[in-house]
Structure 1
């Protein structure tokens, strides 16, 4: 242990202005986590976790990538090694993650959830495993308690159109104080080239009770599920795409392409792009009808390691940043919706930092004065939800748009221990502004700049999503 706690009250806050902004205007505000991948089943059943490996390492491909890089055998990552041994391997890894956000996240999460301020390493690992074991095996550390511990007001999980939302319905009837909503993610219905596409449509057909033989049938089935999600309190959609699709197509072409797929015939890349363009336009026009917010997570190059993907499946740590062209198709897509006055509130998340300025300027093309911050450049996500990535996103948005209208941070996480990332973001934001006050680049007007901080931390999102 060091004499001074690594995680302390003024962590990442480098001057008195940053400290005042964070402690007086941001720290105590509730959290609206409007996009994550938490399990609604775990929340509804108020699950507890047997040990810290189960809640902290299982399913966390950020940690898995770091452990693999250090040369740790897969047995201790996704394999069958005992949970205690897996945690020891993670404890060994942590000191080697310096300058990776995992180092900050790890110690923030230990401090905020478990009141543990020791540095995690090989020497402290066993003691921390034992201490967290005692705490996790109590109702004070159930999923619902973990969310409330972080002053969470709203969480929006992410579900496929085929989900029946039973756990969201159960939570809506419960006395749980945190609002748990959902977002509609229909990527499986869009990506027609997937080998399992017809199988997916058969499932969608069963859920809706509609035969899906034509493109019109598919649109009707998806509209059916949008209505169902809307009736169950859904206000958002989400799409995880390499890039926005926008190709010219005719109704006849799209019907022919869909018919070919349903007959298990090969679809060309050009045909897939035309179909995906048509279904995406239909979906987004429908979101506008219901007043939803649409989200686009763009730029991930997924499943790069075919050998490990075959062994472990998707979302196990084999993805990276892609260098897809973004500007022209995104512009044409947004313009097509706007020209019909059917562009709903939109959040665009960028994974390639080389495109930050592209996205920051693109949103200004479609902010038409109808709604404050109607089109948003979303927070740094995945590989960019770290200090440098967040700062670059904030700087691009500030330089080319209005940071004052920004709706702030989200976890995009599967972990119930990830909500301290909101604190991490808020500290980075306050330090950025505090540093500019110190240098005389911003006025020493704490009341006004504090209001901007509070809006970005909480109030803008509350207004934008109408929670």
Structure 2
């Protein structure tokens, strides 16, 4: 892998090296541990940094037949590292092969050659560097030139660590608000020092917390609309449903969906009031292997791609958001099913906002799709069905701090794709026009989301 990896034309090389390469990173949604980013987190060895928190790598190891003991089980860190090094040469064609090389190069200045580099040497070299203060989590953010990172935090989480950090702010994970649970209610009551008996009380408590989140820099929320999501308009009975649930009675599936839809409507209006961006992650099938769920937990890297999105539900929900008192929040639609790409891109023209660029837009290739094939497909659909210049660009959505190399990977894919299009006569070959496009997609469009 040389400096022109994925850059097959002189124009694509110029766009990357002169425009994209050195731009700061705005990572508006990830699952990193906030205490790591806001504290003085150090890593005990390369396995902890490189493997233990990365479900992408775990999934690849399972596919290659590695025992779960060497993935999330009881094997030692060095044994897990050796198991990963054993299967890495087999991953040619999978983005993890290139990502792993980039991770070693950018953070440790080591030219990893899978199948050739001696694992024992790599273990010793990386661990020696990790023992130094300059390899803390915060220092790694500086290596990647991360200007803003937004790890997920739920509504009742302690967010005091974000105060005064500037470059680290929470992205509000909204699922525990929309899908009611007693633990969240109890925690909220303790935080706001007010009992919650009704839906009105609940919304008031959430308003208090949203103000707290905004004060520490939160500008993004996130909701999972998993496979089977259905939106149901208000029938005027959701206050009573909440009271019934709060008093200990169970709700049937339809009642739960109605109450969840009501809470989403309320939250969208609050996000619009604050000027936040509401991220909707659509289409994950999170229940696959019961065995792996028990072994590795709900985020263990074994989820699948669900059915195509219920477009009728989605558009009805967005339409009602738009008609709310505070109007439509800015929305990013992430789809896990590639069959939904065109449908999501088209919706960028269905819910415009006066004076707002890309008010509703398709997000970057997400989860199982954030590779060369998936990124190119999303670029094709956004440019064909929407307006590419408003695209908010890449975010990692990852649990591994080394995944910031995916911004470089995305920038290479973008510049290579544009250079190839220009060479084929499909788009302008004007360097100045494409320079502005690259800079906006890679940095400035996301920057606007946290400054406007």
TM range (shorter): over 0.9
1:258 and 1:453 map into 2 onto residues whose CA distance is 48
1:399 correspondence with 2:393: no
The aligned residue for residue 54 of structure 1 is 48
Query: Of the candidates 7, 10, 21, which is equivalent to residue 27 of structure 1?
Result: 21
Task: Say yes or no: does 1:315 pair with 2:309.
Answer: no
The equivalent of 1:137 in structure 2 is 131
Partner of 1:150 in structure 2? 144
How far apart, in 2, do the equivalents of 1:23 and 1:123 lie?
28
Q: What residue is the counterpart of 2:220 in the other structure?
A: 236
- Distance in 1, Cα, partners of 2:220 & 2:422: 36
| Structure 1 contact 51–132 (Cα < 8 Å) conserved | yes
Aligned mates of 1:87, 1:16 — CA distance in 2: 38
Q: Deviations over 1:168-187 (max 9, x none)?
A: 12635xxxxxx111111121
The 5 Å alignment of 1:327-342 reads 327-340=311-324, 342=327
1:9 and 1:435 mapped to 2: Cα distance? 17
Confirm or deny: 8 A CA contact 2:220 2:276 kept in the other structure: yes
CA–CA distance in structure 1, aligned partners of residues 117 and 329 of structure 2 = 53
Partner of 1:437: 422
Q: 2:349 maps to which residue?
A: 364
- Does residue 75 of structure 2 align to residue 81 of structure 1? yes
Match of 2:370 among 380, 385, 395: 385
Distance 1:82 1:221, change over 3 A: same
Other-structure match for 1:3:
none
Deviations 1:265-301 (A, max 9, x none): 2311111111011000001111111111111111111
CA contact (8 A) 2:348 2:361 kept: yes
CA contact (8 A) 2:282 2:309 kept: no
- Which residue matches 2:449? 464
Question: Does residue 1:282 correspond to 2:266, yes or no?
Answer: yes
Q: How far apart, in 2, do the equivalents of 1:465 and 1:272 lie?
A: 33
Q: Which residue in the other structure is 1:375 paired with?
A: 360
Check the 8 A contact 1:245/1:333 in 2, yes or no.
no
5+ residue gaps, structure 2, are none
Q: Distance in 2 between matches of 1:215 and 1:389?
A: 41
CA distance in 1, matches of 2:348, 2:310: 13
**Number of residue equivalences:** 450
Instruction: Provide the rounded CA distance (Å) in 2 between the counterparts of 1:357 and 1:217.
Output: 40
Deviation at 1:65, TM superposition (A): 1.1
1:414 matched to 2:399: yes
- Asked whether the equivalents of residues 19 and 435 of structure 2 are also in contact (C-alpha less than 8 Å), the reply is yes
* Counterpart Cα distance in 1 of 2:420 and 2:308: 35
Match of 1:176 in 2: none
**Which range moved further: 87-96 or 302-311?**
302-311
Structure 2 contact 276–449 (Cα < 8 Å) conserved: no
Q: 1:83 to 1:122 in 2, by over 3 A?
A: farther
TM-score (structure 1 length as normaliser)? 0.93
2:170 aligns to what SS in structure 1? strand
Who is 1:260 aligned against?
244
> What SS does structure 1 have at the residue aligned with 2:169?
strand
**1:242-279 deviation digits (Å, cap 9, x = unpaired):** 1664212233x212322232233231111111101100
Name 1:125's counterpart in structure 2. Answer: 119
Counterpart in the other structure of 1:98: 92
Q: Give secondary structure in 2 for the equivalent of 1:267.
A: coil
Residue in 2 aligned with 1:69? Answer: 63
Partners in 2 of 1:118 and 1:165 — Cα distance? 38
Task: Give the CA deviation at 1:324.
Answer: 4.5
Tell me how large the CA RMSD over aligned residues is. 1.6
Q: Does 1:188 align with 2:176?
A: yes
Contact 1:293–1:465, Cα closer than 8 Å, also in 2: no
Q: Is the 8 A contact 1:92 1:122 kept in 2?
A: no
Show the 5 A alignment for 1:162-311.
Answer: 162-169=156-163, 171-172=165-166, 179-192=167-180, 197-242=181-226, 245-251=230-236, 253-311=237-295
Instruction: Give, in whole Å, the separation in 2 of the partners of 1:316 and 1:465.
Output: 31
* 3-state secondary structure, aligned to 2:112: coil
Structure-1 separation of matches of 2:243 and 2:168: 38
Normalised by the size of structure 2, how large is the TM-score? 0.96
Give the one of 10, 13, 23 matched to 1:16. 10
Task: Give the conservation status (yes or no) of the 8 Å contact 1:373–1:406.
Answer: yes
Counterpart among 106, 113, 131 of residue 112 in structure 1: 106
